[in-house]
Structure 1
Amino acid sequence: MTNESETQAPQSMASRGSNRSAQPYCANFRDFIGDGWGPRPQGPTEALDSAPYAALRRAAIGASFPGERLVIPAGPLKVRSNDCDYLFRPHSAFAHMTGTGTNFEPDAVLVLHPLTDASSKVAQGEATHEAVLYFRPRASRSSEEFYANARYGELWVGARPSLEEIQTLTGITCAHIDTLPDALAKDAGPGGVNLRVVLEADDAVTSLVDSTRSQAGLSSGSEAQASDEALMEALSELRLTKDPWEVQQMQNAVDATRAGFDDLIRSIPRAQGHWRGERVLEGAFGAKAREEGNGVGYETIAAAGNHANTLHWINNNGPVRSGDLVLVDAGVEVDSLYTADITRTIPVDGHFTEPQARVYQAVLDACEASLAAANKPGAKFRDLHAAAMVVLADRLEKWGLLPDGVSAEETLKPEGQFHRRWMVHGTSHHLGIDVHDCAQARRDMYMDAELEPGMCFTIEPGLYFREDDLKVPEEFRGMGVRIEDDCIVRPDGSVERLSESIPRTIDDVEAWITSLIQSDN
């Protein structure tokens, strides 16, 4: 006699994830679960505050590619482990072009379809493209997806929006994602419409675009790479200057980050009693980031003692000891997906020792010199770093750390650079919807560019003296100091710190720590 298991067909690997659960599939259940639901809440009646600004960004990018179809995916969900996904964050270019912010919408694709006679429209300043947002709207409650799909089903992940709701919020025409293949293929071909896609955003969409191009007789694959990279470059460079709505988002992110630092400082006494005190500090900041925004904009660095000399120390698994400095590099990403990026170096005991204060003041002076350079007429982005290096090279010479016979002036020359042993990173980077924003911009648009109104960037010099560095005095070893502020170029060309309210001088930092810790005791 043959038992039941021997007669069953082999189970595919893809289906084995369902072995852990037993979902009902009978007709009676399907009928019952799909019935008896009340009306849905009223959808949005007004557009997002970001909508008019996003429309201007779409118009700007469209004018750079008249007559071409531009494909900007949000990206797919990403697996964290087995069948569990990471919290979704849309691709930055998609978020910038749509203004949708947090958690919209896995697998969505923004397409800018070219309008006819695009060249004359560019000349006349008219719209060159029609934007259409393709995504998977919510399914009906009578569908199997509603209750059985753990990745998209409403009972599992909540209700997705309707096409009409997103059209109201964004002002963008919306369509079902299933219509995307036909929409991409329309009029594509030599003498017709060319396609460009943001390569890194969604592999499945890139493959669809490539297949469409190939079938239409257009360049595809590696032959189209330069064309696609030009789109990515243009999207990145468009973010080099922020509009007023974006500047407000940056200020919101900085203000939330200040609140996160406050909570982190309040947690110092508990951190000192924990074997992984750095993680106590990280957790305090992260909790505030989730309360006030989407979360952290990047992995928090909470580096105590010698760990501060590992520039990207994100393990945060060390103790926090009396007498240490703790270098905290952290930023809140608000719901619009714009992030702050702030570093403060905090004495655990609330007061800097004399050697700590000496190093800290040198870094603070470098910050001030960099900001002063930014406020000079015609300042270029590269000038911020150069000004900070002048200060640090001077202090290192005074402390006797440069090689014998080498002056501060000599080490600053291209063939010198001895001072960079103790600060190997740059002093500044653009900031916005990515913590290192505008990364695909050309060098002449970034490093070599003059500062312009709307540019948002960090100023973050540091000095890092590893505990095994025999070229520095023993009193400095194991000490790392960085101070980082977020800055904006105002419409009149002046440069200000958005993070001015976050204490940074020695006296202010000590008073900040004392007031927060004493208020909790």
Structure 2
Amino acid sequence: MSPAATQSTTTPATAGAEPGSSVTELLDAQHPEGREPAPADGDEDPKSHRSVPRSAAFRRFIAQGWGPRPAEDEAPAEAAPYAARRRAALSSLFPGEVLVVPAGPLVRRSNDCDYRYRPHSAFAHLTGLGTDREADAVLVLHPRAGGPGEGGADAGGDGEGHGHEAVLYLRPQGSRDSEEFYANARYGELWVGPRPGLAAQEAATGIACRDVALLAEDLGASVAEPATAGLRVVADADPAVTALVGPLRTGAADEVAAADDELATALSELRLVKDAWEVQQLRGAVAATVRGFEQVVRALPRAVGHPRGERVVEAAFDGTARVEGNGVGYETISAAGDHACTLHWIRNDGPVRAGDLLLLDAGVEADSLYTADVTRTLPVDGRFTDAQRRVYQAVLDAADAAFAVARPGVKFRDVHEAAMRVVADRLSAWGMLPVDAATSLEPEGQYHRRWMAHGTSHHLGLDVHDCAQARREMYLDAELRPGMVFTIEPGIYVKSEDELAPAELRGIGVRIEDDVLVTEDGVENLSAALPREADAVEAWMASLRG
């Protein structure tokens, strides 16, 4: 996926809250459809169109005759020890401060339908929990006075007696005699299935688990400790939680916002170097993505005959992603013909014609929420034309130039500059630049960027544009280190109406994107199983079509 144009910053929510309000009360106020209070017998909500039994007799009856719930798996998750080390690293950065990391609430799609739930990436990183099980959960690192705790010497912390106790606040399983059990379409067990119990979550994560209803009380007690130096929250994750902590904080609004921004930055920078478990997850996501691309090639003949062929392609990949993982890591870009020159074309409603190129930018998100991000540009009928091959080879050469410089100690921006030298050179040779290539590459020039407006690389992990809140000196200006995972994805995009381009190149858009792991002495192309050279692409497509 083409890199984001800018790096965002966290903007704290400003919702107010009365002192002493519990997070459950705030959630009730902000998401009332999610926590419907039980009305008295016979009462009906005049705005509800649901037929919900309200009699006391029914409530007694539905609570009876249930056997025990199926036993829950209480084995430790593979990610648990890695997540513990991440929490220890965070603890060492903010000694004595309460750190609040919400998973986030369900998000409304339309009327009473929610989007499929996905926890905030910082929450997933620090707990090791993925998929869609933790709506409204909150991870809190409570300062621990004395003793190393998670931030002490034996856990990778500062060894000075600072440290934190991690507590995971969750909705417990609902009782079967509650109205939630049978009447709540957002959280009720009969509607969405049972939530994991607190004991099972504690065993899986290695984190102490408590009812989220106790969050306000516990935060108040933690902040009141004499040794507590402050409180920070991931402010954009859950407005209800941000509102809840507001009365517990001191300082001017701009100071509070700056403190939260520092936490968001630290959480982003903690993900710049992946641990062994994260690399394993990314390998799995890439392998599933390769299988998705194979399904797309098999579906191309059907796509050519369909008025919305781009959606035939999208469906082939997205179906594989849903079967092989959690789904797609971002909206699939299925861009045929001139649509390939629109960098984030996700409408995917156009035809796929023989003789055109198809630019497919897609990635499978694993159940752990780590995502691949791969692009291949394919000739729809299996063979590149001479003009298409010319543009394709230029992009491939730019990618190879980026690969050639990528290694530990090289600055992240150097990878981009290596690719741009090739792009500028080829565009100059084709007579498309108003100056020579060297002049275009100067900061005050950059004419070649008309045909490649995005960057060559971005970090990859839990987010497709991972670590986006990291400081510039830790991202663009930083040196590559073993364990970093990022994309290499140059492109050239010549729109059909571009009168500065040779006529035979108009309407051709090409991007080649691979996922790259920095090793001790170079880089590994994680997506190398997908062919890159033009001849190899043609042979691969032919083999899949039988």
TM-score by length of 2: 0.89
In the alignment, is the contact (CA less than 8 A) between 2:337 and 2:509 conserved in 1?
Answer: yes
Deviation, 1:76, is 0.2
Deviations 1:363-415 (A, max 9, x none): 0011110011103x521100110000111111111111111xx2211111112
- Three-state SS of the structure 2 residue aligned to 1:69 is strand
Q: Where do 1:92-103 residues align within 5 Å?
A: 92-103=121-132
Determine which of 170, 195, 205 is the counterpart of 1:135: 170
1:185 aligns with 2:217: no
1:261 and 1:298 map into 2 onto residues whose CA distance is 15
- Given the alignment of the two structures, is residue 447 of structure 1 paired with residue 476 of structure 2, yes or no? yes
Distance 1:176 1:187, change over 3 A: closer
* CA displacement at 1:25 relative to structure 2: 1.6
Indicate whether 1:469 and 2:498 are aligned: yes
- Specify the code of the residue in structure 2 equivalent to 1:58: R
- Listed one character per residue, the Cα deviations across residues 96-139 of structure 1 (whole Å, up to 9, x for unaligned) are 00001111310000000001047994542777000000010111
What is the match of residue 509 of structure 1?
537
The aligned residue for residue 18 of structure 1 is 48
Shift, 1:191, TM fit: 5.4
SS in 1 for 2:98: strand
Please report the RMSD computed on the Cα atoms of aligned residues, expressed in angstroms: 1.6
Find the residue that maps to 1:137 and give its secondary structure: coil
User: Are positions 1:31 and 2:31 aligned together?
Assistant: no
In the alignment, is the contact (CA less than 8 A) between 1:66 and 1:118 conserved in 2?
A: no
Deviations for 1:41-94, whole angstroms, at most 9, x for unmatched residues?
222231000000000000000110000000000000001111111110000000
Q: Deviations over 1:174-205 (max 9, x none)?
A: 00010000111114259542110001100000
Q: Given that residues 210 and 220 in structure 1 are in contact (C-alpha distance below 8 angstroms), is that contact kept between their aligned partners in structure 2? A: no
User: 3-state SS of the aligned residue for 2:545?
Assistant: helix
Which ranges of structure 1 fall in alignment gaps of 5 or more residues?
1-13
2:338 to 295, 302, 306: 306
Partner of residue 379 from structure 1, selected from 410, 420, 427 = 410
Greater RCO, 1 or 2 (C-alpha within 8 Å, sep 6+): 2
User: Do structure 1's residue 206 and structure 2's residue 206 form an aligned pair?
Assistant: no
CA contact (8 A) 1:260 1:284 kept: yes
Give the Å deviation of 1:212.
2.3
Q: Which amino acid aligns with 2:163?
A: T
The Cα shift of 1:494 comes to: 1.7
Query: What's the % identity of the aligned pairs?
Result: 61
Q: How many residues align?
A: 496
Instruction: Indicate if the aligned counterparts of 1:210 and 1:221 stay in contact, CA closer than 8 A.
Output: no
Question: Which residue in the other structure is 1:195 paired with?
Answer: 231
Query: TM-score by structure 1 length?
Result: 0.93
Residue 230 of structure 1 is matched in structure 2 by 262
Distance in 2, matches of 1:285 and 1:135, equals: 34
The reply on whether 1:169 has 2:189 as its aligned counterpart is no
- Amino acid paired to 2:359: L
The answer to whether the 8 A contact 2:291-2:320 is kept is yes
Q: Does structure 2 retain, via aligned residues, the 8 Å contact 1:429–1:457?
A: yes
1:432 aligned residue (434, 441, 461): 461
SS of 1:223's equivalent?
helix
Cα distance change of structure 1 residues 141 and 449 upon mapping to structure 2, 3 Å threshold: same
Amino acid across the alignment from 2:143: P
Number of the residue aligned with 2:373:
341
AA matched with 1:319 = P
**Displacement of 1:507 after TM fit?**
1.2
Q: Distance in 2 between matches of 1:493 and 1:449?
A: 17
Please state whether the residue corresponding to 1:103 is helix, strand or coil.
Answer: coil
For structure 2, the residue ranges without an aligned partner over 5 or more in a row are 1-43
Q: 1:109 aligned to 125, 128, 138, which one?
A: 138
Q: Deviations over 1:158-178 (max 9, x none)?
A: 000111010000000000010
Verify the 8 A CA contact 1:167 1:174 in the aligned structure 2. Answer: yes
